[in-house]
Structure 1
């Protein structure tokens, strides 16, 4: 049985999910007498899964509602990560007090605790105060002790996704995205970026604004959605966050990226300084510049990885999002930035060009 969005919107909750919701309600001390009393609110911005807020009236207070979150797994997501591993990660992070609780599971999704906080917007990422909170929380997240080996997953993941893309693509797409040449690109990046002294941490790997929530009263940050989480270089995770500043998934064209919004040098330095100082020590300029340099180079790996994600998703996921055009923009940005970032000398200690040629805007894309 597959739960689809149109079934939700028509109020046709499948029996399996109804059973899970009744069980969750019981564990929370509630009783759902009438399934027709349940409210279903689609939440926009998700591109891997479909996400809904589910409300039911409290027992004797018809004007008060219990809220939970229902996540419907997207089509083909098993090509990107192992769902059982992701659920284990979810439960472990929850035990660390870092995210919502897992309340129930069904064949095509799960029920999660509803976090009473505001999901950030694209503009929030540019707010210096909010950005400082994110930097501090990200450092805390990176320091989580998770079960299993602490090996870097990045290079195996990107090669696996390349293999999947090759198996799915028609010849036209394979040529457009140069899939036959990407293994060589991956090898160059791995050789250039791998160092024994780089910091490795438990990384989120998808730190877009929709995966960050903030309690308006306490100003506490919660990072959610751990499908892609794994051990990786922390520079890669920060690079992912910077790349996501070019995106706004709540527009009429959510797939369009605006690299004119990519953070400038001082903004990147400020984030890195806040990240490093959140541990209690004050970093020196050399430490800050080194991490800024590393982060900027890891944007290249981000561009390639999410290019492959977009290609694969265009074949297997029916969420209303132009995955292939998204992939084209990430691919274009990779080739645009590679000469500067892998050229001779230090690249990021000086301001990177921000003119239209170096960092195209929406119209240019």
Structure 2
């Protein structure tokens, strides 16, 4: 996606809505920074401290996000300023973001600048992790996820040759970053701990299946989903971690987010595992996902084979559901590994002081290790029976 040229006009005609993410008043320095960005990308607009209200949206643990509403500029806009570090290919991310917007799967892309982008506002309210347990809500999420998994990015935005490796490459990059940090910022990175993390990653990548690759969001916490009561639909936002991965990873990662560790700033007042979806909730979620996939795709969600009869569809649906529940729980372990190492890396240069990255990392590792055997054994039995 090419950068917005200097003669771009201020955006207009986009559907406006109220952003209800937790927020705080931007500091004077932040307001000046945001208005300076808007002046550069939309030089024909009027961007003054007197005419524009700038609010910092909470919840971003990688980037800084600001809601900007100006008296003379039409609908509200979201200004996203990227965090530091080199975990992401931002040019590719912006290109992918534009394609998702064109497909009706993401917010409008209004402009890009060297350290971020300006986005339109989607209607809806971010979900609290507690809402994920409501059957109506999680059924909508399951259907929206199946629709997203049908999306096929262009070769320019996400080369198909990376379809089997992009998520694994991210794991390797995280591990390399953690090893570079040594004992900073946490003692977990001393005394051979990276060696254990490396061994755990190798074990997971050996056991977990990689033959069911789709385009995944890879970060489906409640705050990255918007519920619009007018349309009764769920829309996803924040695609910076999106890429090719096994579909079961997206499901398992989302199941972990039911526990609410991310929304609680890395802290938890009670045992987070008490909020992990029950077997009945997992099956209900996956059944809805598979049914939606079947309605959108002419191929089997697990094998890619062409369906011929109603009986064949029903049999494949049961098979898909059984396998995906088992695989999602197994992939939840990889999700814990990824976000724990990510948190150690982020703690070295935290973009916010409102998130306890170290506690978050320790909790994710604790849960992964406590449930390692329990969640891998059914997968190994499944493979043994295949």
TM-score range, shorter chain: 0.7 to 0.9
Number of residue-to-residue matches in the alignment: 328
Among 202, 205, 208, the alignment partner of 1:193 is 208
Among 161, 165, 182, the alignment partner of 1:152 is 165
Q: For the Cα contact (< 8 Å) 1:174–1:180, is it kept in 2? A: no
Among 238, 246, 250, the alignment partner of 1:225 is 238
Cα distance per residue 1:160-217 (max 9 Å; x no partner): 210110001317332378211222222211111125xx42110000000111112111
Q: CA deviation at 1:228?
A: 0.6
Match of 2:5 in 1: none
Question: 1:342 is paired with a residue of what secondary structure?
Answer: helix
Among 97, 104, 111, the alignment partner of 2:111 is 104
Gaps of 5+ in 1: 60-64, 349-365
Match of 1:255 in 2: 267
RMSD: 2.4
The answer as to 2:370 corresponding to 1:336 is yes
The answer as to 2:32 corresponding to 1:12 is yes
For the structure 1 residues 118 and 14, does the alpha-carbon distance in structure 2 shift closer, same or farther, using more than 3 Å as the test? closer
Equivalent positions of 1:314-333 (< 5 A) are: 314-320=347-353, 321-333=355-367
Match of 2:300 in 1: none
Match of 1:294 in 2: 327
Q: For the Cα contact (< 8 Å) 2:343–2:357, is it kept in 1? A: yes
Match of 1:359 in 2: none
Q: For the Cα contact (< 8 Å) 1:72–1:109, is it kept in 2? A: yes
The answer as to 2:336 corresponding to 1:303 is yes
Matched residues in 1 for 2:192 and 2:129: separation? 28
Mean CA deviation greater in 236-245 or 50-59: 50-59
The answer as to 2:196 corresponding to 1:181 is yes
Question: 1:103 is paired with a residue of what secondary structure?
Answer: strand
Q: For the Cα contact (< 8 Å) 1:272–1:291, is it kept in 2? A: yes
Q: For the Cα contact (< 8 Å) 1:314–1:324, is it kept in 2? A: yes
TM-score by length of 2: 0.78
Among 131, 134, 154, the alignment partner of 1:127 is 134
The answer as to 2:73 corresponding to 1:39 is no
Matched residues in 1 for 2:282 and 2:381: separation? 14
Among 80, 89, 94, the alignment partner of 1:71 is 80
Matched residues in 2 for 1:157 and 1:53: separation? 30
Q: CA deviation at 1:107?
A: 2.6
TM-score by length of 1: 0.83
Matched residues in 2 for 1:55 and 1:17: separation? 14
Cα distance per residue 1:210-258 (max 9 Å; x no partner): 111121111122111111100100000000100011115555x553372
Matched residues in 1 for 2:33 and 2:356: separation? 28
Question: 2:351 is paired with a residue of what secondary structure?
Answer: coil
Among 252, 256, 264, the alignment partner of 1:243 is 256
Among 205, 212, 217, the alignment partner of 1:204 is 217
Mean CA deviation greater in 279-288 or 303-312: 279-288
Q: CA deviation at 1:158?
A: 0.8
Mean CA deviation greater in 36-45 or 277-286: 277-286
Gaps of 5+ in 2: 1-24, 296-312
